[in-house]
Chains A and B, each alone.
Chain A
């Protein structure tokens, strides 16, 4: 009995070791193959010089990093704005009162329009259109305008994520909340929304990953964020390495965020 258990454990260990060995070997072989294939292309020496120049990297990196700090501040603020405005839009869409019909229609149209327009177009339209209106107090700061464009677009997505979460809470929960005497609004606030928000955290974080990349679109309005800085340096030195530096910086925030999504998703599945 004990012998057999020990034998089974030994067999399991052998299987695990063999699996790890096979995975290592196949990875090494594949990476070596790709490196060799790319390295043997006729253009590789030029590409290495224009995209992977250590000199260009180290001289441009401080400026690109400084530009990236603007990206970070921008996406943090836009994320907060999107979380709040998106929730308001979603809640407006769940109301049923006839008096609120115009608001509801507006919210529905808002989602349709801003989800349907490419983000880059919105950045152009808001960034150049709003200042052109020239009304009193019209914002002219390109960062602010770009932030508004991103907020408009992402709010539409996030409002739909919230709404899906609210719809996913079973009707019996609303019934039970009403049965203990809560009003419809209290039922939403204390019973339905807390459950809905918990369920939509992984999709919300996913949207934030794409937002963290899309802040680079603000570059077309001129502010010196990471992509814009890299572009300027690349143009002046005829070397594209600064763009690679910018790409690495974006990855530094999006990859950890992706791992956070994985963890949250796993946790919500076991909970």
Chain B
């Protein structure tokens, strides 16, 4: 069997003297989706950022297709171009049009010609119902549209895996659905994904495996039905109970 697309081995990370990740192990096989759940501050976002080398880890290793990418001799931009990352706050480039946002990396990083990059971008935008917004600036779009553009931007370079960091948390409730539908489509296409999320029913539906993070550790992991219906750890039960009380489950 080939190496997992992404593998995380014993990763630790502290901000100052505050530990955020305390030894994370994780493997994501091709075409699988892993959902990271847990309270705010449990380390979900930091883990994604460490995998994309946006944060430097203290200890352990991150592997991409079997290659140790946290080795200091590896150039981080060479690693990031093989991954797609989507942020909670969209982070589109406001001075560029939707189309320019999407073609920036294909053209500047991968050296794709303008015609080819734009054709591919328009095809992707069209697939996700955004073709008519190609010439608009991001601030003319709704939050849901902006986040869908951000996902298209991350897809445009054909990444090996997609890292989704609470992509619906900044959205108005009525706009969450369109973004989740897109992620659902990507999963159906076989995209390898790690998603940090607060949308439990969505995580249950789309993820092959749920990892519950608590205080910088994955304290429980398993199939969605096992985690949500028969959690074994007290921390997991308490977290799910609190969500239930807040009517978020």
Interface residues of A (CB under 8 A from B): 172-173, 175-184, 186, 190-191, 194-195, 198
Contacts and interface: CB of A to CB of B under 8 A. Distances in A.
B91 A173 contact: yes
Contact of B93 (A173, A183, A186): A173
Contacts, number: 60
Q: Which 5 A-B pairs have the closest CB atoms?
A: A181-B81, A176-B91, A180-B105, A179-B85, A181-B109
Interface residues of B, number: 25
A179 B109 CA distance: 11
Contacts of B157: 180-181
B87 A198 contact: no
Contacts of B77: 178, 181-184
Interface in B61-93: 76-77, 80-85, 87, 89, 91-93
Contacts of A184: 77
Nearest to A196: B95
Nearest to B165: A179
B147 to A, nearest CB: 12
A180 B212 CA distance: 28
A93 B83 CA distance: 31
Q: DSSP class of B's interface residues: helix, strand, loop or mixed?
A: loop
Given A183-B77, A198-B95, A176 B87 contact: yes
Contacts of A190: 104, 108
Given A180-B104, A186-B109, 18 more contacts: A173-B93, A175-B87, A178-B54, A179-B52, A180-B80, A180-B81, A180-B109, A180-B157, A181-B77, A181-B82, A181-B105, A182-B77, A182-B105, A182-B108, A182-B109, A190-B108, A191-B104, A194-B95
Nearest to B108: A186
B227 interface: no
B222 interface: no
B53 to A, nearest CB: 8
A195 to B, nearest CB: 5
Given A175-B54, A186-B108, A190-B104, A180 B153 contact: yes
